[in-house]
Structure 1
Amino acid sequence: MKILTLDIRDPADAMADFTHAWKTGRPRETARVSFSSPELLWRVLTAKRWKLLKVLCGAGPVSIREAARRAGRDVKAVHGDITALLNAGILDRTDAGQIVFPYEAVKVEFVLHAA
């Protein structure tokens, strides 16, 4: 099963993964999108965007209109959410202009430390 891991990491740690991939020619074994803080993760991944990811999991390439239909939402609002998810690197766009979430599941990892 292809899983996308979302996590909270220091930019230096995320850059270490990039450096490893660059030097070895192969990425780490899991797909990962990192955020610098929990606040940023929750700002990008709103409840409506989570629902959108849920309907796109394993769906293959779809149009924005089809994604909106599956989510039961307005096309214009879904377009804005898809743009945010594309900018965050969570969704991909195909050569034909469709959007795709090429994973079957999402895993979120972070540790909450005392202030």
Structure 2
Amino acid sequence: MTTVTLSVASREDVTRRALSAFKGEQQGAHISFSSVELLWQTMTRKRWELLKVMTGQDAMSIRAAARRVGRDVKTVHGDVHALLDAGILDRTDDGKIVFPFDAVHVDFTLTAVA
């Protein structure tokens, strides 16, 4: 099973993880956001629904994804492009979209504001 971790991480954390990977240390799949606000701005409720129906599935057309979530193709198209721009979805050579993971783990810590 391939799991991706969505996390909030500083540039230093991402750099440290990349350097460790270059040394051959397994890091797992990560998609990092610079803030919790950016994570939630990118991962809206509708976009979570898309990921849910695409997790563990083969590549599909935007129209097929829209059918699976029961939404209009035009609005799903906008959400798909936001997820593509964020590096969460991939596009195949034949133009289909894919979320190449079987599971999603979300990891961040909420701390008190001083």
SS of alignment partner, residue 42 of structure 1 = helix
> Using the alignment, how far apart are the partners of 1:27 and 1:88 within structure 2?
25
> Using the alignment, how far apart are the partners of 1:79 and 1:52 within structure 2?
11
> Using the alignment, how far apart are the partners of 2:25 and 2:68 within structure 1?
33
Contact 1:17 1:28 in 2 (8 A): no
**Alignment match, 2:30:** 32
**Alignment match, 2:19:** 19
**Alignment match, 2:6:** 6
Contact 2:51 2:99 in 1 (8 A): yes
Cα RMSD for the two superposed structures: 1.3
> Using the alignment, how far apart are the partners of 1:18 and 1:82 within structure 2?
27
**Alignment match, 1:100:** 98
Deviations 1:27-70 (A, max 9, x none): 73310000111000000000000000000011110001100011
SS of alignment partner, residue 4 of structure 1 = strand
**Alignment match, 1:114:** 112
User: Runs ≥4 in structure 1, deviation > 3 angstroms?
Assistant: 26-29
Give the gaps of 5 or more residues in structure 2. none
Give the gaps of 5 or more residues in structure 1. none
**Alignment match, 1:50:** 48
1:53-64 residue pairs with structure 2 within 5 A? 53-64=51-62
Q: Give the TM-score, by structure 2 length.
A: 0.93
> Using the alignment, how far apart are the partners of 2:87 and 2:25 within structure 1?
16
Q: Say whether 1:85 aligns with 2:83.
A: yes
> Using the alignment, how far apart are the partners of 2:50 and 2:73 within structure 1?
12
Contact 2:17 2:27 in 1 (8 A): no
